[in-house]
Chains A and B, each alone.
Chain A
Amino acid sequence: MKTKETQDAVWKAVILRGRQALRQPLVATIFGLLVGAAVILACGQNPIEVYKEMFEKSFFKPYYLFSTLTRATPIIICAMATGMSWRAGYINLGVEGQMVTGTLVATVTALFLPGPPVLVAIIAWLAGMAAGALYALLPSVLAWKFNVSMVITTLMLNYVANYITSYFVTYPLKDTSGDGLALQTPEIAAGMRLPRLSSTSTFNAGFIVAILVVVFMVFITRRTVFGYESKMGGFNPSFARYGGTKQVKVMLITMALTGAIASMAGSAEVFGLKYRYADSMLSSTSYAWTGLQAALIAGLDPVGMFFVSIFLSGLQIGGSAIQRSLGIPLEIATIIQCCITLFVSVKVVIRFVKKPKAVKEGGKQA
């Protein structure tokens, strides 16, 4: 059967590509865990037992797995937002600011817009996406009209967004119903909340939203002319320009999509988990930066980013679990996470060490 043969060939190619794409992150992960093991030894504990405990309490017990997936939700969406702009060659470090702005607007809309809850919730998400998109367009317009480096503007605009939202939850939007000490908005109406997917934990439909974003991302990058043009622009802007692509348009769409996706990360957190916006709930948790690490480790491949995000949040969940049960500092998980990112970025060195070996083997053969 010819069709079956071609199907087999396609699968082989997919597996081969997957293997090539995964090798680097896997090696980095192993190195990262080894460094972590050294630190655990220094704390006077047995690394194997600690790791067993850590992975049990992040992936292998259902309750912890749900916690991991809940935490992964905003991280996955942030990774997709990062990937969207980085693939097109725009070093956007402002996912956090875009997420915070979008989320605040979504929350405010949900709190004050009258109407049937489900409809208001949908409008709130859309309003948040629009706000995130506008906030991401600001640095793009600066880059386009005045040639300002997007790395700097996006990074700085994070602070602007964080302080402005801080002001709003400290003064006009503060929930005064309880003791009035917490810097947070009132809760959104029950009818607007995303449904829980598990009766024993906080795991909610936000994760499904995250999966939809991944699917959307895969679709955009593989199937659309826009995805093709933005990818080529990321590879070689001169080539894209010479080919007649409208680069300003591609940049603006890319950044608008980035901001819109970023806002969904925060909206999922508000509508699925916290039901309110609290001061620095999205920045102190480093969702955007963990998402950035996931994007880099996975080499900006959407499906890769999805799994790496889950893995990193598993490390964080497992890290706090071993702190509770074994007294190992939570920072262990952060060390491992950072080491993995570092080891991924030292690709070049690994290649450099490998090559002379190949020569020696070659010499023996001949």
Chain B
Amino acid sequence: MKHITKVYGSLYASDDVHLTLDKGEILAVVGENGAGKSTLMKILYGLEQPTSGEIYLNGELQHFRSPHDAIAKKIGMVQQHFMLLEPCTVAENIVYGQEPRKNGFFFDRNAAIRITEELCDKYGLHIDPRRLVKDCPVGLQQRVEILKVLYQDADIIIFDEPSAVLTPQEVNELLLTMRKLAEMGKSIIIITHKLHEVMAVADRVMVMRLGKYIQEMPKSETSIEEMSFLMVGRHIVEREVPPQETTGTVLDVRDLVLAGPDEKNILDHFSIHVDAGEIVGIAGVSGNGQSELIQCLTGLLPPTSGEVVLKGENMAGRSVGDIRNAGCACIPEDRYLWGCAKQATLTETSIMAHQYKPELSRHGLLNSKGAKAFTQKLLDDYDVRNSGQSQKAGELSGGNIQKLIVAREMEQNSPLLIAAEPTRGVDIGAIEFIHNKLLEKREKGDAVLLISSELTEIMSLSDRIYVIYEGRAAGEFRKADATEEALGILMMGGALHEN
């Protein structure tokens, strides 16, 4: 790829970037959010057209109008968000788009299964072709995505943030898979923020910042420190969190039950408490009731039974507005589902749940000057890169919209903040920033409930840690007692042996 430039409005998402990839090589593209990594990959995969610049494949100039063109030239992409048909089997998903046919018309299910088995053997990735995708854990779903790309006979495979949704064990397997594919002659591009993965797997590293190509070097000649310095443009310091006294319970969840569609409870007599001045982490593999817990706590979903006591008052089953007024702010786990509307302007995004404050409205009339000033303050204080307040939320990069949502919820100055996956898919610089804000909140004597599938995040920030497994609180740790191993065992449903 030569001189690739992509302009959105007045923003250079990708500014004269070069990228080369050799056969059988693993290239890691690293950079902060909004650095232009994803844009570059979308251009390579035909999802976006460059404003200017050229793509050469084996010396030939290419024009990719759509992913179809890219796939035809043997470029495949494993998306961050899986594009799978959940009610279908693994084999059906893999052949989708180029199905084997019986008599040239009917779908040949047996051939599909045979093809899948052959692929599995060829690349040593094992999976049961008859299993339904929705029954597969995330790690296996990703394997289906990889096999799908291999079935399309891709020589160049792009992985977009592949480890974001995986458990530590699954990540290790994924890295092994990548190495194996590279040894078999596939060329791999991996986009990631996680530098230890880069060190584990990549041959070469390319760093991008603010849409610009910064530097490129063989992995053997660099280090995590150097890469993070190049990415952020400054040094990241390790954080020391001083211990702090807590003062009184803010949130007390007692025996919370949420019945599921079958007899199994989604939340099963779940009890925790969060005190003022502490960060309480909830660790767990995603899908063990975290989303429902957040929805029950914030009022989006009424619990079947149990109490949610916020500052002495039981709020279980009350409306979202009531719970927010009682002093609960929430950074939602899915920023595009709950956290914003993609078509809304930045102003409209920022004032949500603030709209009744006197500086923003009076007697139901909006004060647009107040709203503008408020939004500008959030944008400036939280370093949200934008091209003006009338920009649409959906046009911001993931990390920037996340910063804006964090800003909006922090600005509630509520006694309780629920932070769900506050740094999912966010780069190092922004992670550090968001973590500092959470710690500031703790320092002010507010309570923070941190729910994250990122174990390192939980371990570095929390004063106390609960593990959630199948809707139950499976264990409670003080910070000093928590080890990655002990948490990992409980997260997978195991039991700890008392010594």
Q: A residues within 8 Å of B by Cβ? A: 13, 17, 222-229, 231-232, 235-236, 238-246, 355-356, 358-360, 362-363, 365-366
A242 to B368, CA, bound (A): 22
A246 to B366, CA, bound (A): 17
Of A228, A242, A360, which contacts B332 at CB under 8 A?
A242
A238 to B298, CA, bound (A): 13
A356 to B343, CA, bound (A): 25
Inter-subunit contact B344/A366 (CB<8 Å): no
Measured between beta carbons, the chain B residues less than 8 angstroms from A238 are 337-338
Inter-subunit contact B49/A355 (CB<8 Å): yes
Inter-subunit contact B65/A359 (CB<8 Å): yes
**30 pairs across A/B with beta carbons < 8 Å?**
A13-B390, A223-B368, A224-B364, A224-B365, A225-B355, A225-B361, A225-B365, A226-B364, A228-B366, A235-B342, A236-B344, A239-B337, A239-B339, A239-B341, A239-B344, A240-B341, A242-B330, A242-B339, A244-B299, A244-B321, A244-B325, A356-B65, A359-B65, A360-B63, A362-B51, A362-B52, A363-B61, A366-B2, A366-B3, A366-B53
Of A239, A355, A358, A360, which contacts B340 at CB under 8 A?
A239
Inter-subunit contact A365/B332 (CB<8 Å): no
Chain B residues 418 to 455 lying within 8 A of chain A, measured CB to CB, are none
A180 to B180, CA, bound (A): 91
Distance of B273 from chain A, by nearest CB (Å) = 24
B348 at the interface (CB under 8 A from A): yes
Distance of B50 from chain A, by nearest CB (Å) = 6
Measured between beta carbons, the chain A residues less than 8 angstroms from B51 are 358, 362
Inter-subunit contact A244/B320 (CB<8 Å): yes
Inter-subunit contact A356/B63 (CB<8 Å): yes
A356 to B49, CA, bound (A): 8
Measured between beta carbons, the chain B residues less than 8 angstroms from A366 are 2-3, 52-54
Measured between beta carbons, the chain A residues less than 8 angstroms from B298 are 242
Chain B residues 335 to 361 lying within 8 A of chain A, measured CB to CB, are 337-344, 348, 351-353, 355-356, 361
A242 to B325, CA, bound (A): 13
Chain B residues 282 to 320 lying within 8 A of chain A, measured CB to CB, are 298-300, 319-320
Of A225, A235, A239, A355, which contacts B338 at CB under 8 A?
A239
Inter-subunit contact A359/B338 (CB<8 Å): no
B179 at the interface (CB under 8 A from A): no
Measured between beta carbons, the chain A residues less than 8 angstroms from B353 are 243-244
Measured between beta carbons, the chain B residues less than 8 angstroms from A236 are 337, 340-342, 344
Given A222-B366, A246-B319, 15 new contacts (CB under 8 A): A226-B364, A228-B351, A236-B340, A239-B339, A240-B341, A241-B300, A242-B320, A242-B338, A242-B339, A244-B320, A245-B321, A246-B321, A355-B49, A356-B63, A362-B50
Distance of B130 from chain A, by nearest CB (Å) = 35
B109 at the interface (CB under 8 A from A): no
Of B52, B53, B319, B366, which contacts A244 at CB under 8 A?
B319
A232 to B330, CA, bound (A): 18
A236 to B348, CA, bound (A): 12
Of A17, A226, A231, A365, which contacts B52 at CB under 8 A?
A365
A362 to B4, CA, bound (A): 10
Distance of B56 from chain A, by nearest CB (Å) = 12
Inter-subunit contact B366/A229 (CB<8 Å): no
Inter-subunit contact B344/A235 (CB<8 Å): yes
A232 to B347, CA, bound (A): 12
Measured between beta carbons, the chain B residues less than 8 angstroms from A246 are 319, 321
A294 to B361, CA, bound (A): 32
B324 at the interface (CB under 8 A from A): yes
Measured between beta carbons, the chain A residues less than 8 angstroms from B344 are 231-232, 235-236, 239
Distance of A2 from chain B, by nearest CB (Å) = 16
Measured between beta carbons, the chain B residues less than 8 angstroms from A232 are 341, 344, 348, 352
A159 to B89, CA, bound (A): 46
B 255-298 binary contact with A (CB < 8 Å = 1; else 0): 00000000000000000000000000000000000000000001
Distance of B39 from chain A, by nearest CB (Å) = 14
Interface centre among A227, A243, A358 (most CB of B within 10 A): A243
Given known A242-B339, A359-B65, contact A228–B355 (CB-CB < 8 A): yes
Q: Of all chain A residues, which has the CB nearest B49?
A: A359
Q: Of all chain B residues, which has the CB nearest A239?
A: B341
Inter-subunit contact B366/A225 (CB<8 Å): yes
Inter-subunit contact A363/B54 (CB<8 Å): yes
Distance of B359 from chain A, by nearest CB (Å) = 13
Measured between beta carbons, the chain A residues less than 8 angstroms from B342 are 235-236
A13 to B389, CA, bound (A): 12
Measured between beta carbons, the chain B residues less than 8 angstroms from A359 are 49-50, 63, 65
Measured between beta carbons, the chain A residues less than 8 angstroms from B365 are 223-225
Interface centre among A13, A223, A227, A246 (most CB of B within 10 A): A223
Inter-subunit contact B65/A229 (CB<8 Å): no
Q: Of all chain A residues, which has the CB nearest B337?
A: A238
Measured between beta carbons, the chain B residues less than 8 angstroms from A222 are 366, 368
Measured between beta carbons, the chain B residues less than 8 angstroms from A228 are 348, 351, 355, 366
A194 to B300, CA, bound (A): 50
Measured between beta carbons, the chain B residues less than 8 angstroms from A226 are 364
Measured between beta carbons, the chain A residues less than 8 angstroms from B341 are 232, 235-236, 239-240
Q: Of all chain B residues, which has the CB nearest A229?
A: B355
A360 to B52, CA, bound (A): 9
Distance of A169 from chain B, by nearest CB (Å) = 40
Distance of B116 from chain A, by nearest CB (Å) = 34
A235 to B52, CA, bound (A): 33
Q: Of all chain A residues, which has the CB nearest B43?
A: A359
Chain B residues 28 to 87 lying within 8 A of chain A, measured CB to CB, are 49-54, 61, 63, 65
Interface centre among A240, A244, A358 (most CB of B within 10 A): A244
Inter-subunit contact B364/A363 (CB<8 Å): no
Q: Of all chain A residues, which has the CB nearest B355?
A: A225
Distance of A229 from chain B, by nearest CB (Å) = 7
Measured between beta carbons, the chain A residues less than 8 angstroms from B53 are 362, 366
Inter-subunit contact B65/A225 (CB<8 Å): no
Inter-subunit contact A363/B320 (CB<8 Å): no
Inter-subunit contact A223/B63 (CB<8 Å): no
Q: Of all chain B residues, which has the CB nearest A16?
A: B390
Distance of B36 from chain A, by nearest CB (Å) = 17
Q: Of all chain A residues, which has the CB nearest B356?
A: A225
Q: Of all chain B residues, which has the CB nearest A236?
A: B341
Distance of B430 from chain A, by nearest CB (Å) = 21
A244 to B51, CA, bound (A): 41
A217 to B477, CA, bound (A): 56
Distance of B254 from chain A, by nearest CB (Å) = 24
Interface centre among A235, A246, A356 (most CB of B within 10 A): A235
A227 to B365, CA, bound (A): 9
